[in-house]
Structure 1
Amino acid sequence: MPHAVSLLRAARLTRSAKPFLARGGFKQERCAGCRLLPSHCMCALRPSVPTRVGVCLLMADIEPLKPSNTGWLVADVVADTFAFGWARTETDPALLALLRDPQWQPYVVFPGQYAAPERVVHSVAPSQPSDKHKRPLFILLDGTWAEARKMFSRSPYLAALPVLSLEPEQISQYKLRRSRREDHFCTSEVAALCMQLAGEELAGQTLEAYLAVFTHHYLRAKHQQPVEWDGDAHRRLRELTGVAVQPPPLSL
């Protein structure tokens, strides 16, 4: 069944006047399930991790169309992932309904220096199977840094929500797009950090491993190299999920 980001991508494509061509990417047929070349498909590796945490992706206009987008990976792993396109002048009513849903405690994940101090938090209550605890809903602003800042400052429906400011010790391992700063993390890395804050260690570790596998497949396809199915990235994902597959019969 298509997940939230896949559905948003399909809706965005219906509005496109011409085909979307990823800048610097490979211009060949892609798998509809993982956006990679069929020879490098990783759909059989898709993990399923039970978690009570939710993720809400606010995505810049063409972000769902980019094959390097990692919000897609979050939706693969976290069942309760919601995805909405962002626009300054209009807001999806389903997004507003989600933010009002009493089962969720929304947090806007963004650097604290851009928010009023009274809104900023650095921790969340662990996710627990109890009616007394609302489920954490992490709102991730998925786009370039400039787009994310615009979404944060020009979305009135976010203004009253707490801002979760992360303080990771590591640097980003994301290799599919360039960034001038090592403290800028891709969407799936941010989601992994949020999972760990909420006590969902397995989900966080799985997202980290899944990103490493996706990065390997993406770069190997880009450079017309075969997948190393027995490499460290695949081994780590197998350890966490128990999922092991043979390479597909297709070849470059």
Structure 2
Amino acid sequence: MNAFQLLRQQRLARATKPFNARGGSIVRCEGCGLPVHLCACELKPQGVPNAAFCLLMYDAEPLKPSNTGRLIADVFPHDTHAFLWSRMEVDEKLLALLNDPAYSPVVVFPDSYVTDEERVVLSSTETLKTRPLYILLDGTWREASKMFRKSPYLNQFPVISVQPETLSTYRLRVAAHDNQLCTAEVACCLLQQQGDTTSSVLLHQWFSVFRERYLKIKPHHKAEA
């Protein structure tokens, strides 16, 4: 299992009641997260990106069928790490990863929300001494904002933001703003900005497959098409 699947199993094991979000009753493939009759595991690509990813996930995010952080772990299983976020208790394995000299951690968040004048804001990763480790705050916009503000152990790392040329094509959940990207789309943009076109295309292809098949179970999709 990749890092997301392991984290999902851990989160399920500690759940005290069933997760009853919309679509939660559908029997899904554990490999790709899609309904079993729409399983796309045989189409799942794998690649080796120039950067690594750290999914820092809000409490119930690993349980949500619409989560796209899992797609990053699908395509880059050896280069993606996943942890649950906690304001009070920080996972020691997360801290060890952030202190690994093989990586240069970078927090991915809109730079317009950086209020600390001493915080480094990057426009590219070319100045980093080692391989970028993109820290993706995976949750709703409100949850991601909370993680950004209340994770002091991340304050030492620079921030980078993405400037997508097109609006999000996500549509699996309702975003607070039209120009907000889902987690997989953000990763695609980061890889593209870094010049890693091959990895960006691989991830976007898998995202497109997931999105197309996921939308088939949404009752309003045909009306939108």
What is the 5 A alignment of 1:9-24?
9-23=8-22
5+ residue gaps, structure 2, are none
Could you list the per-position Cα deviations for residues 132-157 of structure 1 after superposition, in whole angstroms to 9, with x for gaps in the alignment? x4111100000000100100010011
- The answer to whether the aligner puts 1:174 opposite 2:170 as a matched pair is yes
CA displacement at 1:223 relative to structure 2: 4.2
1:199 to 166, 174, 195: 195
Q: Give the conservation status (yes or no) of the 8 Å contact 2:141–2:176.
A: no
Structure 1 runs (4+) deviating above 4 angstroms are: none
Output the CA distance in 2 between the equivalents of 1:117 and 1:74.
Answer: 32
User: Is residue 136–residue 198 contact of structure 1 (8 Å, CA) maintained in 2?
Assistant: no
Q: Aligned equivalents of 1:191 and 1:117: distance in 2? A: 26
1:1-252 mapped onto 2 (5 Å cutoff): 2-23=1-22, 25=23, 27-78=25-76, 79-115=78-114, 116-118=116-118, 119-125=120-126, 133-223=129-219
Number of aligned pairs?
Answer: 218
* TM-score, normalisation: structure 2: 0.92
**Distance in 1, Cα, partners of 2:206 & 2:127:** 23
Q: Secondary structure at the match of 1:89?
A: coil
> 3-state SS of the aligned residue for 1:82?
strand
Task: From the superposition, tell whether residues 106 and 28 of structure 1 become closer, same or farther in structure 2 (CA, over 3 Å).
Answer: same
CA distance in 2, matches of 1:12, 1:18: 11
What's the C-alpha RMSD, in Å, of the aligned pairs?
1.8
Q: TM-score, normalised by structure 1?
A: 0.82
% identical aligned pairs: 48
Distance 2:130 2:60 in 1: 32
Q: CA deviation at 1:222?
A: 3.6
The answer on whether the counterparts of 2:48 and 2:79 sit within 8 Å (CA) in structure 1 is: no
The CA deviation at 1:213 is: 1.0
Once residues 81 and 10 of structure 1 are traced to their aligned partners in structure 2, the CA distance between those partners, rounded to angstroms, is 16
Shift of 1:220: 1.1
Q: Which whole-Å CA distance do the structure 2 matches of 1:190 and 1:117 have between them?
A: 25
The AA in structure 2 aligned to 1:30 is R
Structure 2 contact 108–161 (Cα < 8 Å) conserved? yes
Q: Is the 8 A contact 1:70 1:187 kept in 2?
A: yes
